[in-house]
Amino acid sequence: MSFLTLDSLTKRYGDTTAVDTLDLSIERGEFVSLLGPSGCGKTTTLQMIAGFALPSAGRIVMDGRDMTDLAPNARGFGIVFQSYALFPHMTVTENVGFGLEMRKITAPERRRRIRQALGLVRLDHLDDRYPRELSGGQRQRVALARALVIEPPLLLLDEPLSNLDAKLREEMQLELRNIQRNVGTTTLMVTHDQGEALSMSDRVVVMDQGRAMQIAEPFRAYEEPADIFVSTFVGKTNLLEGQVAAGTNGQPCVDLGGQRLDLFGAGMVGDGPVRVSIRPERLEMTACRQGLVDGRVQTRQFAGDHWLYQIDTPVGLLLATCPNCGPASFDVGDEVGVRWTPDSMRLLKDRPKTTLSLGGMS
């Protein structure tokens, strides 16, 4: 029996279905992210778990207890809001202590736990400041301390890092995850940032149009995307149109615009048209006629730790990244070969058209 179970959770607003029969089981202590573009239903899901929105159908069960219809103030979950939602008229201490006060915890015990929580987020020195006197990162920590001090069974994070600048966000990703590991609170995070979801979570739920498209560990979601949406949303990829066919030696192979490439366990999806996904870092650039396809470098971008090439080839425009190990080997306009190993190809079926249109309508 898992710790938190979402059982066919559904939310409808009039004719639109924001969350469509979502099933999810979360283990105790796990860090799970709901990842998807805006409007995919991830925030609505969080709202239902928090109790701010009532599900149209389905159940939320935690630790064997049905929480579906419980009022938000009876659930006892810690929530970090996107805007942090700190109480502007209370000091840091009063903000963090609010939940303890509601639980009628005695003043000395309250002081001890506030100090402990502020120590956890390294803010002990700012305890008598007001929120507007703090920086964005500090407010974020106060919000986290306020959510954790009540020792919630479940921590809900709603785009917790989206208001921070890029550098601070990376620092906070690490720190947030470390804190979560230390206190061991089961955590569900909503984010639209795939990098954030991949780097922080034990498992990722990739959502689109109210449905969970894939629930997997970050590495699996990246390496073995369940469908085209997941492969394009989680990381960058090259999507090539192809046809599965029988090869010369009886081995199945894929036909990419005339190029026949053997498939060695690249994931079989039967006959017919398929899409082949290859990650840019799996493409290797070589001299002309030494790769699987030839092409011409169209653009080159320098991104610090790697070079990013766009190569025009007969099978389509390919995106390739090369680690920065010295000056770039190729220039715009160069004729190059591109090769990749068969095991870096992922075969993906097009999502059936009917499902797509249903998803759009429902």
Judged by CB under 8 A, does residue 89 bind other proteins? yes
Cα 112 to Cα 11, 43, 149, 181, 182, distances in angstroms: 41, 34, 10, 22, 18
Supply 348's token pair: 């993906």
- Give the binding range for other proteins (CB under 8 A) out of 129-137, 187-195, 230-238, 325-333: 129-137
Q: Which residues, at least 6 apart from 23, have a Cβ–Cβ distance to it below 8 Å?
A: 6, 7, 8, 9, 212
* Residue with Cβ nearer other proteins (141 or 146): 146
- Give the binding range for other proteins (CB under 8 A) out of 28-36, 145-153, 199-207, 281-289: 145-153
**Are 159 and 69 within 8 A, CB to CB?**
no
Judged by CB under 8 A, does residue 203 bind other proteins? no
Q: Helix, strand, or coil here: 335?
A: strand
Judged by CB under 8 A, does residue 3 bind other proteins? no
In terms of DSSP H, where are the helices of 125-165? 136-148
Judged by CB under 8 A, does residue 150 bind other proteins? yes
* DSSP 8-state secondary structure symbol assigned to residue 48: H
Q: Whole-number minimum distance, CB 101 to other proteins, in Å?
A: 9
Q: Whole-number minimum distance, CB 88 to other proteins, in Å?
A: 6
- Give the binding range for other proteins (CB under 8 A) out of 15-23, 70-78, 223-231, 251-259: 70-78
Supply 108's token pair: 């000395």
Judged by CB under 8 A, does residue 52 bind other proteins? yes
Q: Which helix (H) or strand (E) holds 298?
A: strand 293-302
* Residue with Cβ nearer other proteins (88 or 327): 88
- Give the binding range for other proteins (CB under 8 A) out of 54-62, 94-102, 202-210, 341-349: 94-102
Q: Whole-number minimum distance, CB 291 to other proteins, in Å?
A: 53
Rg (CA), the chain: 24
Judged by CB under 8 A, does residue 153 bind other proteins? no
- Give the binding range for other proteins (CB under 8 A) out of 37-45, 99-107, 177-185, 336-344: 99-107
**Are 77 and 83 within 8 A, CB to CB?**
no
Cα 336 to Cα 78, 119, 256, 325, 332, distances in angstroms: 54, 56, 18, 19, 10
Supply 353's token pair: 């058209």
Alpha-carbon gap, residue 104 to 85, rounded angstroms: 22
Alpha-carbon gap, residue 213 to 222, rounded angstroms: 13
Q: Whole-number minimum distance, CB 147 to other proteins, in Å?
A: 8
Selection from 309, 178, 217 nearest residue 27 by Cα: 217
Judged by CB under 8 A, does residue 14 bind other proteins? no
- Give the binding range for other proteins (CB under 8 A) out of 86-94, 116-124, 185-193, 227-235: 86-94
Straight-line distance from the first to the last Cα atom of the chain, in angstroms, rounded to the nearest whole number: 32
Q: Whole-number minimum distance, CB 103 to other proteins, in Å?
A: 6
Judged by CB under 8 A, does residue 130 bind other proteins? yes
Judged by CB under 8 A, does residue 229 bind other proteins? no
Judged by CB under 8 A, does residue 77 bind other proteins? yes
Binding test (CB under 8 A) with other proteins, winner from 28, 103, 112, 236: 103
Binding test (CB under 8 A) with other proteins, winner from 57, 70, 85, 183: 85
Strand order in the sheet with 293-302: 284-286, 335-339, 293-302, 306-313, 316-323
Binding test (CB under 8 A) with other proteins, winner from 27, 69, 109, 133: 133
Judged by CB under 8 A, does residue 50 bind other proteins? yes
| Interface residues toward other proteins, by CB under 8 A | 50-52, 71-79, 81-83, 85-90, 98-99, 102-103, 130, 132-133, 146-147, 150
